[in-house]
Structure 1
Amino acid sequence: MPPKRFLAAALAVAAVAAGTSAATAAPAPTTTNAISSSFADTFADPSIIQGRDGYWYAYATSDPLVANGPFGLMHMARTKDFSSWEYLGTVFNEQTKPSWAAPGSFFWAPDIRYFDGKYVMYFTVTDTLANPGSDFAIGAATAPTPTGPWTVSDGPVVTPKSDGNGGWYNTIDPALLTAADGKRYMYYGGFYGGISVTELTPDGLHAVGEPTQVTIGDRYEGSYVVYRDGYYYLTASSMNCCAGPTTGYSVFAGRSRSPKGPFLDADGVAMTESRVGGTTVITQNGNKWIGPGHHAFMTDAAGQDHIVYHAIDRNAAWLTDPFGINRRPMLIDRIDWIDGWPRTRAGSGPSEGPVPAPVTGSGLGIDASDPAGGLAGASRRPGDALGGPTAAISGAAQTRKSAAPGSLRVEADVRLGSSFTTVLGGHQVFAKVADGKVTVAAGRRTASASLPADFDRAQWNKLIVEVSGSTVSARVNDAGLGDVYAEAKVDVPGLKLAAAPVRWVGSAEVDNLTVRPVATPVRRLAAVPKPGKLLAGDDFSGELGADWSWVRPDAKAVVADGKLSWPLQNADLVGGGNNAGLLFHNTPAGDSWIAETKLHLDTGSGDIRNYQQAGMIAYLNDSDFARLGNVAIWKTRQIEYGRELVARPSDGATSYGVAAIGRSAPTQWMRLAYHKNAAGEHVYRAASSVDGKNWTWGASWVLSAPAKLGLFAHGEFTGANPAPVATFDYLRFYESK
C-alpha cells in the first residue's frame, strides 16, 4: 500500500510555494513538539538519518502507533523540513522479520546507519529461538534504500548473555559508532548488566573480541555515542522510561579519548563507579513533557546539533489503559555544547511551543538534491534511483553565487577522486582530502589527520568543511551522525572569512550539497534558581519548635549536638507501604522559594543495601508526593527524585517513577526549588551537591497544590543492626532569585 501523507507545512514553506518574494518572506520555519503527532500518538526510541535522497528518515520501536492499533514491526517516517512528515509503514512484516526470533518476540530501539553503500539497521530482539524466554539479543538488517527492502542477518550481531543464574542480561538498545581508528563499535546494554561496547567486523554484522563494560548496572540504557573535539561522548538514558505520568527518564553523558572508555562526566566521575554520576543532557523542566530519553543526535545544514527523543505528555500519558502501553511520541530540540558538554536548549530541557526547525537545504541558489545547477564548472550526472542527479567535479568548480562573509559550513555526500580540495573565502581557507589524509590550512597554520588504511573513497561518505569563528575544520565520516573517519582542525586567531564563491579543485561526485552560514552557538547555560535571603528554617540548635509537624512520629529521631539524627526506618512510602515517618517544617509564604538541607548518610559503596535512603520530600498525601533522596539501589548509590500519584482513580492504584540528579556522596547537600508555572501549577525542581558550592539542577515534578516540605529517613530492609543513621545539619528556606 502506498505511504499515507500527513502534511503540517510551516507558513514559510507555504509562502515559498505560493511564490512570495524574498522581501516579504515569511519567518523561518518552526517545529512544535511532538513532531510525530501528525501521523502517530507514539513513536518511541527514535533514531534518524539523512538519506541519499535528501529526506530525513526516522525509525521507532514496535509499539502501536495509536490506541488499539496493531503492534508494528518497527516504524518508518520521513521529512524534508521537519514540519511535514510522511509515514512509510513498518520495517518488517511477518514474512521478513528475523527467522531466529522466538514467536511473540518484540523488536525495539532501531539504530540506523549508512556505510559501505548500504543502510544498516540494528535493533533489539527480545527473545530468540536459542533460549526461548526473554534472552535479549542485537539483530541487524541491511537495505539499499532507507525504506528497505530489509535483509535480516542470519543470526544475532550480539548474542544473548547469561547471568549465570538462569536469567539473561539486558543485551538491548544498540548504537553503532565508526571511530577514528577505522573500526566499528557497537554499544548495547541496559540496567541489568550495564552498557558494554564490542568491536564489530568491518561489515558491521558480527561482534569480535571481548566486550568492555562502560557503565555500571542499574543506571543506564539507550546509549548513543558521538565524536566531538577529540572526545567520544557516551550519552545514555537513566531511570524508568515507562511509568506513565510519573516517568522520570533523563539523558546523561560521559566522555573519553577512547571509544572503549573509561567515560567520565564533567566532575571526573566514571560512569562505571558505584557512586555514579553523569552530566545532564536533558531532563524534564516542569512543562507538560516528562521522561525525555532514548535519543539520537543529528546535525543540520547550519551545523546545529539536535537531539531526537521520546517523551510523555503527563496529561496524556497512556496509549492504552493505565499501566498498559505508554504514549511516547517523538520530539526534537536544539543541543548546545557548553564548556565541552551537550545540553538541551542550554539546559532548559524539552520545548513545548514553537521553536526554530532544523535548517535544511542549501543557500547560494543551490538545489541540494540536484546540485550541478548551482555550480559553474560541474557537470550533471543522472546519479541513481536512490540519490537522484549528482554533480561531477573534475578539475575545478565553484558556486555561481558568493557566500557572505563570516562563518560558513559546506557539507555534501561525496565519492572522492584521488585529490579533492575545498576553498573558502577566496583563498583564505583550504580543506583537502588526498594521500590518505584530511588537511586544513588557513594562513600559515595547517593540521592533518590520517584516514583509515582501508578507507574506501569510491563509496558515498560525508565531507564537512566548516569555518566557525576562528576555527577551521574538515571531517570525513559515514553519514553525518557523529562518527568520524578523520577530522582535521586548526584555530587561527583573528580569522575573518571574506565574501567569495566556494571553490573546489580536484575530482569528486557530489550529492546533497549544502552551503550555509554556521548557526550561532549558545555558550552559556540557562539560568537556574539561586538562593537569596534566609526566610525560615532550623539549624537544630534546640528542640523542634512549633514550625515542625509529623506524619507517623518516630521517637528514634532526636535532636542533639546541632543535628537531627534519624536511624533509617524499616518502612517505605511507595505503593501500599505507607508506614514511614515524615517530618515537616512550615513553608514560607509566596510563589517561589528554595528549601535546602545537608545530609550525612553512609551507604557504603559497591554492595547491596536496598533501599536505604534519606532526604527531602514535597508531600500532599501518602499517594501524592515528590521525594528527593540519597539512595542505595543494588550496587549503585544514586540521587533519586521520585514521584508517586494515583494513576488509576477507579481503584486508587498508584504509579511511582524516578529521575536521577547528580551523583551520590556520604555527605550530600540537597535543594528543592518551588515556583508556580504559567498554568498556576506547583513545580518543585531538585538539585544536589557534594560540596555545598557546586550544584547540579535536575528534574522538576508538578503537584496539583502547595505541598508540605520536610525530611524522611527510611528504606532499611537489610536487617542491619543498628540501623544506619541519617544526620541532617539543617533545613532552611531561602528567597528564590
Structure 2
Amino acid sequence: MKKSRGIHVTVLFALASLLAMGTPVSAATAATDGATDSTASAHATAGSDRRGSDPGVYTNPLAPQVPGDGVVESCADPTVLRGQRAGDSSWYLYCTTDPLNDEDVDTHGDPVFHRVPVMTSQNLVDWTYVGDSFDAAPSWAEPGAALWAPEVIYSSTFDQYYMFVVVTNTASAVSGVEGCDSDSAIGVATSPDPTGPWTFSDTPVVAPRPGGTGCAFLWTYDPDVLGDTIADSGILYYGSYYGGISGAALSLTADGAMADTDAATLVAIDNKYEGANVVQKDGYYYLFASATNCCNGALTGYSVFVGRSTDPLGPYVDREGVSLTAENTGGTPFLTMNGNRWVGTGHNTVFQDAHGDWWTVYHAVDQQDPFFAFQTGFTKRPALLDAIDWVDGWPTVNGGAGASNDREAAPAAQPGQVSRHRYRPDVTQEPKRSLPRYSDEFNGTTIGSAWAWQREDIAPKATSADGVLRIPIQAGDLYVDANSAAVLVRDAPRGDFVIDTRLRVDVPAGCCFNYAQAGILAYGSDDDYVKLTESSIWNTRQTEFAKEISTAPEGWARYGNTVVGPPGDDWTHLRLVVQKLTGAERRDAGEDTHGFTAYTSRDGHAWVKGATWTHSLGDDMRIALVAYGLPDPAANLTAEFDYVRVSTVKERRRG
C-alpha cells in the first residue's frame, strides 16, 4: 500500500481483499453450455433482460446471474477468454478475489471472498456465475493470502489451460524473509477445462522480488501472457507501481510454467503503471496499462493508457512518441472518466469477437453506488464492456467517448454474427474566442491587479519579467484539511470557457522531489476545486488531474486524481475546459453542475485529451495558479508561467 502527499497518486488496493479469506462457495468443475471493421447486420443471438427487446444491444454494467441468488455486482481485474478448443462456443470471464455482491456475507455478517470467480456466456453480454476457481491458496502461500488479477491461456502443446494469478503473501521459505505480508508472487495452476478443477504448481512462476532490505519487496502483481493460445513458450508480463511492469520469456511445462525473470525487460516505468495487457495487431504490440488509484470510491481516477512497439519487449511509445519508461512518462489515454456515472475505468482486457472486431472488458466504479453495502470504503467494481475503434493505428473506446452508459451494439459472440457497432468520433474542445479580460500574457514588471493571493500572509515572492510569471515552489500542500499553500486567483467567466497555460518547473532530473507541482485550477475554495498540474512523483514527471470536494459522507474520499499525457521536456502546455452540465448529463454526474476536461501538450500543437471530472464550484468559481508541494524549501525551485489565456469553447468531432 502506497500513499503520496501533494500529488496524492495513491495506489491503494481494496483493503478488504487483504483480510482473512472467507469460505468460498464451490470450485467450478465444468463449463455450462459446453475495432470497428463491422458491417451492418442484425445480431443473431437470443434476447435477454440485459438486451431488452433488441437482441443486438446491451447496457453496462455486465451483471452475471448467480443462479437463485441475484447478480455479480463486482468483478475487479477482469479477464475474458473464448473457449480455445474446437467445438467450445463459450466465453469465460474471471475476476479477482472479492465478494460477489452486497448480500455476499456469512452468518456473522462478514464478507465472503471468492477465490477467482468464474462466469460463462454464449453472447458476451449475458453471463452466469458457475463457481470459484480455488478452495485454497497454493501450498507455498501464507494462510489468508489473496488471489488477484487472474490471466488464463490455453496451451496447444499440452492441451490444457493455465491460470496465472497473484498470490499476495508467500511463506517465508519462498520469500526468504520471516514475518512479511508484502512478499507477493505470481503462481500458476493448470486444468483440462477453463472452469477447472485447477491444480496449483508447487512453486511460483515469478518469486517474490526484493526491492530493498527486510520486507521491502517489489509489487509482483497482475500477470498477463501474450496471446490466448500458445504452444509451450511465450511472453509473461507482470509488475505494478513499486517495481514497474516487466516482460520475460515464459516456458510452459505439463504441470506449471517457468519465467526467465533474470533476463526480464522493463516495459513500463515504476511509480506510474500496473495491470498490463498486451495484444498484437497489424505489426505492432500494444501495451495497455492502468494508472493511479483503483479503489477510491466515488473519486476513483483509475484509467487505462496505451503504448505500442514492434517488439513484444518494447520499447513501447505513446502516440506522441514518448516512451513508457521515460522520466517524463509516456502513455496515451485509452479509457478514462468521461463525466457520466462511471469513474475508475481500469485494469482492462482486450480481445476480438467472433467477427474479428475488438472489445474491452474492464472494471469501473459507479460514483453513486461506490461501496459494498456491508463496508463503507470497500470499493465495488462491476465489469463493463465497450467497443474499441482503431484510428490511425491507435485504439480508443467508443470513438474516444469512453465508458458507455446507454444502449450499445453488442459484440458478435458466435461465428456468422456481425456487430452493429459503428465508429463515431468523440467531441473535442478547443479555444474559440479570446477573453482578454480574464487572460494575462505577463508582459508587465508586476503581477496584474486582477490577480490576488488567497492567503497573502504565506504567499511566495512571485515576479513578472520578460513575459514570464515566476512563482517559487512552496513547501506546502492543498489537500483535504492540509491547506498550507498559497493560491493565486482571479475572476472567471460565467459561461463555458477554456483555460490555457504554458509552464515549466525547474525540478532536476531523477529522484526525488516529491511532490513539487505547478499548474492551473478551477477554484471554488481550498476544499472545492479541480486541478491540472505538472508534477514530480519519485522518479517520474506526470500531469496530474485532480478533484477535491469539501464534504462527503463518512468514510468517503474527498480527493481523487488521475493523470493525462506526458509533460514536455522543457515547457508543458495545460488546458482545462469548463462546461455547464444540463439534463441527463447532470443526472449522470449526481447533479454536479459543471464538467471539467483536461488536455495536455508537449508542443502546443498536438493535444492529448484526458479525463472529465464533474464538480459544483458555485457562482464564485475562479481561475487559479499554484506552485507547491516541495518538502524541502532549501531546494529553491521555481515554476514559470508564460501566459494564462482564457477563451470561449469550440467543439468539434475528431477523427
Aligned counterpart, 2:488: 583
Q: Secondary structure at the match of 2:344?
A: strand
User: Shift of the alpha carbon at 1:574?
Assistant: 1.3
Displacement of 1:342 in angstroms is 1.1
Q: Does 1:40 align with 2:86?
A: no
Q: Distance in 2 between matches of 1:640 and 1:291?
A: 15
Q: What residue is the counterpart of 1:169 in the other structure?
A: 218
Q: Which amino acid aligns with 1:639?
A: T
Alignment match, 2:280: 227
Report how far residue 735 of structure 1 moved.
1.1
SS in 1 for 2:479: coil
Name the aligned partner's letter for residue 195 of structure 1: I
Alignment RMSD: 2.8
2-structure distance, mates of 1:182, 1:518: 34
CA offset at residue 242 of structure 1?
A: 1.1
For residue 28 of structure 1, report the CA deviation from its aligned partner: 4.6
CA distance in 1, matches of 2:230, 2:351: 19
Q: TM-score, normalised by structure 1?
A: 0.73
Amino acid of the residue matched to residue 641 of structure 2? F
1:517 deviates by: 5.7
Q: CA deviation at 1:360?
A: 2.0
| Correspondence list, 1:341-360, <5 A | 341-360=394-413
| CA deviations over 1:421-480 (Å, ceiling 9, x no partner) | xxxxxxxxxxxxxxxxxxxxxxxxxxxxxxxxxxxxxxxxxxxxxxxxxxxxxxxxxxxx
User: Residue type of the partner of 1:44?
Assistant: A
Contact in 2 for aligned 1:43/1:310 (Cα 8 Å):
yes
Q: Does 1:699 align with 2:604?
A: no
After TM superposition, the structure 1 = structure 2 runs for residues 293-442 of structure 1, keeping only pairs within 5 Å, are: 293-319=346-372, 324-361=377-414
Q: Could you tell me which residue of structure 2 aligns to residue 548 of structure 1?
A: 451
Per-residue deviation at 1:84?
A: 2.1
In structure 1, stretches of 5+ residues that fail to align are 18-24, 362-513
Matched, 1:732 2:645: yes
What is the CA distance between 1:527 and its match in structure 2?
A: 2.6
Counterpart AA for 1:169: L
Which residues in structure 2 correspond to 1:655-666 (within 5 Å)?
Answer: 655-665=558-568, 666=570
Tell me the distance in 1 between the aligned counterparts of 2:263 and 2:43: 53
| Residues 1:100 and 2:100 are matched in the alignment | no
Q: State the alpha-carbon separation in 1 of the partners of residues 374 and 631 from structure 2.
A: 33
| Alignment partner of 1:77 out of 96, 111, 119 | 119
One-letter code of the match for 1:255? R
Q: What is aligned with 1:508? A: none
Is the Cα contact below 8 Å between 1:246 and 1:645 reproduced in 2? Answer: no
* Residue correspondences, number: 569
C-alpha displacement of 1:525: 4.3
Partner of 1:115: 155
Q: Is the 8 A contact 1:303 1:518 kept in 2?
A: no
Secondary structure (helix, strand or coil) at the match of 1:720 reads helix
Q: Does 1:607 align with 2:511?
A: yes
**Correspondence 1:550-699 to 2 at 5 A:** 550-553=453-456, 554-590=459-495, 592-645=496-549, 648-650=552-554, 654-665=557-568, 666-677=570-581, 678-679=585-586, 681-699=593-611
Superimposed CA distance per residue, residues 467-523 of structure 1 (whole angstroms, 9 cap, x where no aligned partner)? xxxxxxxxxxxxxxxxxxxxxxxxxxxxxxxxxxxxxxxxxxxxxxx235687773x
**Partners of 2:498 and 2:576 within 8 A in 1:** yes
Counterpart code for 2:189: A
Question: AA paired with 1:731?
Answer: V
Distance 2:391 2:138 in 1: 42
**In structure 2, do the counterparts of structure 1 residues 520 and 351 end up closer, same or farther at CA, with 3 Å as the change threshold?**
closer
Q: Aligned in 2, Cα 1:627/1:518: closer, same or farther, shift over 3 Å? A: closer
CA distance in 2 between counterparts of 1:47 and 1:699 reads 24
Q: CA deviation at 1:261?
A: 1.1
Look up the SS of the partner of 1:346 in the other structure. Answer: helix
On the 8 A contact 1:306/1:334 being kept in 2, the answer is: yes
Match of 1:184 in 2: 234
Structure 2 residue 257 is matched with structure 1 residue 205 = yes
SS of 1:205's equivalent in the other structure is strand
Letter of the structure 1 residue corresponding to residue 127 of structure 2: W
Structure 1 distance, partners of 2:376, 2:240, is: 22
**Separation of aligned partners in 1, 2:242 and 2:389:** 31
Q: 2:170 aligns with which of 107, 128, 138?
A: 128
Aligned to 2:433: 533
Distance 2:134 2:94 in 1: 12
What does residue 91 of structure 2 align with?
Answer: 56
Determine which structure has the larger strand proportion and give its number: 1
Q: Distance in 1 between matches of 2:89 and 2:236?
A: 26
Q: Is the 8 A contact 1:283 1:349 kept in 2?
A: yes
Q: What SS does the corresponding residue of 1:611 show, helix, strand or coil?
A: coil
Q: TM-score, normalised by structure 2?
A: 0.82
Please say which structure displays the higher CA radius of gyration.
1
Q: In structure 2, what is the Cα distance between the partners aligned to 1:13 and 1:620?
A: 50
| Bigger relative CO (Cα 8 Å, ≥ 6 apart) | 2
Separation in 2 of the partners of 1:646 and 1:37? 36
Contact 2:410 2:419 in 1 (8 A): no
The answer to whether the 8 A contact 1:253-1:278 is kept is: yes
1:268 aligned residue: 321
CA shift for structure 1 position 323: 6.3
Contact 1:245–1:655 under 8 Å retained in 2: no
CA distance in 2, matches of 1:312, 1:56: 24
Q: Shift in Å at residue 307 of structure 1?
A: 0.7
CA contact (8 A) 1:275 1:605 kept: no
Q: Provide, for residues 110-162 of structure 1, a one-character-per-residue CA deviation record: whole Å limited to 9, x for no partner.
A: 11111222121111000101234220100111111121001111111111100
Unaligned runs of 5+ in 2: 1-24, 33-41, 66-70, 106-110, 651-655
Q: State how far apart, in whole Å, the 1-side matches of 2:452 and 2:558 are.
A: 27
1:712 aligns with 2:638: no
Report deviation, 1:107. Answer: 0.6
Deviation string for 1:307-365 (max 9, x for gaps)?
1000111121122577631111000100111111111112111111111111122xxxx
Amino acid at match of 2:606: N
Q: Please report how far the alpha carbon of residue 622 of structure 1 lies from its aligned counterpart in structure 2 after TM superposition.
A: 2.5
1:63 counterpart letter in structure 2 = D
Tell me how far apart the structure 2 counterparts of residues 15 and 699 of structure 1 sit (CA, whole Å). Answer: 34
Counterpart Cα distance in 1 of 2:452 and 2:376: 35
**1:180 to 1:273, Cα distance in 2 relative to 1, 3 A:** farther
Alignment-derived partner of residue 416 in structure 2: 515
CA deviation string 1:393-446 (max 9, x = no partner): xxxxxxxxxxxxxxxxxxxxxxxxxxxxxxxxxxxxxxxxxxxxxxxxxxxxxx
Compared CA separation, residues 267 and 148, structure 1 to 2 (3 A): same
Distance in 2 (CA, whole Å) between partners of 1:234 and 1:533 is 39
Q: Measure the CA separation in 2 of the matches of 1:572 and 1:664.
A: 21
Paired with 1:193 and 1:349, the residues of 2 have a C-alpha distance of 29
Q: For residue 4 of structure 2, what is the aligned residue in structure 1?
A: none
Question: Take 2:206 and 2:130, find their aligned partners in 1: how far apart are those partners?
Answer: 28
Distance 1:149 1:549 in 2: 67
Give me the whole-angstrom Cα distance separating, in 2, the residues matched to 1:44 and 1:645.
Answer: 26
Q: Aligned in 2, Cα 1:532/1:122: closer, same or farther, shift over 3 Å?
A: same
- The Cα of 1:646 is off from its aligned counterpart by 5.1
Q: Using the alignment, how far apart are the partners of 1:114 and 1:650 within structure 2? A: 46
Give the 3-state SS of the residue equivalent to 1:245 in structure 2. Answer: helix
SS in 1 for 2:416: strand
| C-alpha distance in 1 between matches for 2:400 and 2:557 | 30
CA distance in 2, matches of 1:229, 1:216: 25
Note closer, same or farther for the CA distance 1:202–1:85 as it changes in structure 2 (3 Å cut).
closer
Please list, as runs of the form range in 1=range in 2, the aligned pairs for 1:455-474 lying within 5 A after superposition: none
In the alignment, the residues of structure 2 paired with residue 245 and residue 16 of structure 1 have an alpha-carbon distance, to the nearest angstrom, of 30
177 and 544 in structure 1: CA distance in 2 versus 1, 3 angstrom threshold: same
The 1:572–1:620 alpha-carbon spacing in structure 2 relative to 1, beyond 3 Å, is same
